[in-house]
A and B are shown apart, each in its own frame.
Chain A
Amino acid sequence: MRKKTFTAAVLLAAATLTLSACGSGDDAGSPVAVVEGGSDAGKAATVLDQPFDKPELVLTDTHGKKYDLRKETKGHPTLVYFGYTHCPDVCPTTMSNIAVAKKALPKAEQDDLRVVFVTTDPGRDTPAELGRWLKGIDPQFIGLTGDFAKIQAGAKSVGIAVEPTSKDKNGKLVSVHGTQVIAFSPKTDAGYVLYGENATVDDYTKDLPKLVEGATP
């Protein structure tokens, strides 16, 4: 009985505390539990001290033809991105940002620039599927598909890790995209500048005139 009395007292105390908690309603400096990721004001471009060699990728383009990345893009300013078309957010945004920025270049430079989208989901991204998707972004963009192991090795050679498409617990296919665009110089054919997925149209518009000359942005 003594024990029970004690419990009741504790409960009473708890109730009193609850009461005061309810009373103090207007707290001004409330904490925000989930904070939006900071959009860093710094430069979008990361210039590499140790440039990458252009990946040795021989794949299939959107016309179903063999495409040798090194051969076809030699001497051209080239942007390479690894992504997939069943991607609602980052992949179309990245490619569209480049497409809009490219329109600000003089015509000759637009034609000189090679923008290459290499799929990380070759199972779903057939040449026709890739072509249809890229046409909605920029018909000059080049889409490549082929053997996943080759694509993964090519991505790895420029520091981009991608995994094969897999099924999640609901049986849905889940693919992985790279998080960076790599710019290759027309002078050296080396990958010397990286752009993260936060790079905007303005960032690319500002930097493309330098990239097409192989200059440092």
Chain B
Amino acid sequence: MRRRTAALTAGALTGALALTGCSGSGAGPEKAELSVSASYMPQPVSADMAAGFLTITNKGTSEDELTSVTSDVAGEVTMHSTTGGAMAEQSSFAIPAHGKLVFRSGGNHLMFEKLKHTPKQGQTVTVKLDFAKSGPLTVEMPVKSTTYNPSTGH
């Protein structure tokens, strides 16, 4: 019984200190702080499918995970990694603390299937991103030319 008391006290003490520590700094508990940039969809060449690209930046102190993507233009959006010409569907992508998750042409990409209409250059498509910990983010993704290159901007 004595032993049990000691352990409990230690546990309570740890909890109290950790709590004080975090609230004292004014930043609240550790969490991810996500923002999206550089999003675009190249105008697809067929009515069947389209690709989408974006960067998710995490300024927070905790990692998060992109767990699903949905869009108003597509019946299904899946996440893929690409290596050596072979793409593989992934069920989630990690976004490290103080890090980035990059979807770019030739690498990771979002794949929009069962398109309800063919997105055209100049339009935007709405994309909703769901995460393991953070609340969802909605992105208005601009449709660019089929040959759009983000590093040259045209």
Contacts and interface: CB of A to CB of B under 8 A. Distances in A.
B50 interface: yes
Nearest to B86: A176
A163 B147 CA distance: 26
Given A89-B109, A197-B106, A133 B6 contact: no
Contacts of B122: none
Contacts of A35: 100, 102
Contacts of A21: 21
A89 B51 contact: yes
**Among the interface residues A21, A35, A137, which one has the most CB atoms of the partner chain B within 10 A?**
A21
B98 A88 contact: no
Interface string B79-106: 0001011111100000011111110111
Given A7-B10, A30-B98, A25 B89 contact: no
5 contacts: A22-B24, A25-B25, A36-B102, A92-B45, A96-B45
A84 to B, nearest CB: 10
Interface string B24-60: 1101001000000000001011101111000100000
In which size bucket is the chain A interface?
A: 35 or more
A147 interface: no
B3 interface: yes
Nearest to B87: A174
Interface residues of B, number: 54
B48 A86 contact: yes
Contacts of A18: 17-18, 21
Given A18-B21, A25-B27, A31-B98, A88 B44 contact: yes
Contacts of B55: 36
Contact of B147 (A20, A100, A178): A100
A133 to B, nearest CB: 5
Interface string A144-177: 0000000000000000011100001010101011
Contact of B89 (A33, A168, A198): A168
B11 interface: yes
Given A22-B27, A25-B25, A92 B146 contact: yes
A106 interface: no
B96 to A, nearest CB: 4
B11 A11 contact: yes
Contacts of A215: none
Contacts, number: 150
B58 to A, nearest CB: 9
Nearest to A37: B107
A130 to B, nearest CB: 11
Interface in B88-132: 88-89, 96-102, 104-107, 109, 111-112
B104 to A, nearest CB: 6
B44 A19 contact: no
A23 B25 CA distance: 5
A14 interface: yes
B21 A23 contact: yes
A85 B49 CA distance: 9
A60 interface: no
A200 B106 CA distance: 12
Given A15-B14, A23-B25, A93 B86 contact: no
Contacts of A202: 152
Given A25-B27, A200-B152, A7 B44 contact: no
Contacts of A20: 21
